[in-house]
Structure 1
Amino acid sequence: MLKGIPCYIMRGGTSKGLYFLEDDLPTDVELRNTLLLSIMGSPDERQINGLGGAHPLTSKVAIVSKSSRKDTDVDYLFLQVAVDKAQVSDAQNCGNILAGVGAFALEKGLIPSQNEQTDVRIHMLNTGSNAVARIQTPNKQVNYEGTATIDGVPGTAAPILIDFLDVAGSSCGRLFPTGNAQDTILDVPVTCIDNGMPVVLLNASSFALKGDESPAELEANSDLKQKIEAIRLEAGKRMNLGDVTNKTVPKMSLISPALKGGLVNTRTFIPHRVHEAIGVLGSVSVATACVLQGTVANQIIKQSFSDGCMNIEVEHPTGQFIVEMDVTGTDNFENFMVNRAALLRTARLLMRGEAMVSASE
């Protein structure tokens, strides 16, 4: 016998995942994770017996509930469901899946829609930080159609502005968790940063790369993957993340000079596959490192920044990401502060119904 679990399938940014209400899933974490593995079809590299898309970017879950906090409307827990192993991780946020959380909360009636647009205040349980998503709600209905575009997603959609309020050091305890703008790990200069996503920045030239290599080329380079993983394991310890062997953080971002008119170019290991674009919060961390003197990224772009508001264009394999930032102390590591980070995303409701599982699960 099968039973149905209420579920939405949504694209959020450049990712796709399953969205659930917390009340529709088991409260026991082990039982919940076992259920989600079954729904996704993991472990199996094709996820042929489930709803997963056979890639980390399409094997994601959002669990949403009404918030008990006075400063937020809903709570959001992100879970990364591994494709090829029986593993469900809550070690990171996901800013792309976050793009669909506000719309999902409105669709499910967790908060009332306003006329024209609704600001949804979201508490990200993975790291304890908050964000505000501005959703178009003409006639108090969520609108998904519009003229906004984001690189890595075909077509157009309604814009969703996401404002990140307090994400600096949310996973590692501080913006630069090693206490330095730059470190050396296994003879490679690196910058370790956490502005919503723990990221290790590396100069692509340190690995004899140009930075324009495709994700497939990088994934096929076994020597490169082994060295980057060795650096990641050591960086995890220095970033207060402990043993990251079985964790999805930190992400490893190869940095190189811009190729298409942006500020900096990236290729990001997430951590063992290479992102076809770049994660939302990963791009925020990269953009942040770009504007502070002394980081690996700033040394590559060779540019000084004044305090205040700016747009940072982060290139990735399928386009670029524009991060709006307000910072102070760009010339002084000790005084550097991120006052605001925001960006534009889109989302689309793809399906709503029930995910079917064995009645014994």
Structure 2
Amino acid sequence: MWLRLARTRGLGAIGFARAIAHYGNAADAIDDLPARARSAGRREITIPSRDTAEAEMEQIDRFGARLITGLDPDYPDLLAAIPGPPPVLIVRGDPSLLERPGCAMVGARNASAVGLRFARELANGLGREGVAVVSGLARGIDGAAHSGAIETGTIAVLAGGIDHIYPPEHADLHARLGEQGLLLSEIPLGQTPTARDFPRRNRLISGLALGTLVVEAALRSGSLITARYAAEQGREVMAVPGSPLDPRARGSNQLLRDGAHLIESVDDVLDILSKARRPEPPVGGLEDLPAERLADLFPDDESDPSHHESRSEPTARTPLDRLRALLSPAPVSGDELARAADLPVGEVQAMLLEMEMSGEVSTLPDGLVQRRRQS
């Protein structure tokens, strides 16, 4: 019954929570909601059949995953405390990671090589201290965070079904997360994400963690949406300072101006998390809702277009484009650029020479390179 109500089209997580608070259980809600919707002049709602729900359960089992509902004792307490927590979660991997203190780590998809290295180092250090690193398996900082903590504990929150691999280059990382880490989503298996699913995913990334750390982020980015959710959920917001010359640092630097905690090391993060308040799940329910207020069970706030995160992804890029995206005003070695771009060192050095001759980069006396400030 719980799964059928959770998959009712148009209800949403907030509507589900209100329905449970109003009716007391999923069975009574399923029995009464269609009639009340008609009497209130609403369009008829679509509740999946028992066979449909059982088929989804069988699909989850075949994939080697499991369903966690809001009734289960291992449903994450931190997630239960957010407004409109997801009524069901589909997970694959090590669910004990949900019991650890979590730190969300997000940032730019077109991250610099320095940002990628710092994210990996932070994630690895946090994992070694028993912190579960939570991120969204996107390109850039997300992938670096998962890679850094894959041996020590990391949770990937997906916008589509956990069987949907995106981006394609993270196929190996996705597979490892399903074994050593944890893949998690509120979306049924087999579904590819839509634009509205990404901000919904972001609220889960912040909701699973005591704090959210932004490594690199432009002023208009999904990472700042995650940071905003963290603040609204009463969680800590942290940011790594970046060069004022790098547009990828403007969003994270703005967070610092707005009061986010400045992070320069693993110890900084651990100190913030040790002082973080653990929110408690809400207690009690709503007053009885009259039929004319049935619309409260079908909120539109989760489909607010202003919450949509851009899903524009770069098409196949040339090696030079990949190298340019990794450069920043922060000095970096050619070897590190080659590793981050997955290119031969000799090829990278040749491209850097051309870029230096054209005025795009500068080579410092110690051999490190940095992007030149555009005049």
Larger Rg, first or second structure (1 or 2) = 2
Greater per-residue strand proportion: 1
Give the alignment's TM-score, normalised by structure 2. 0.29
Greater per-residue helix proportion: 2
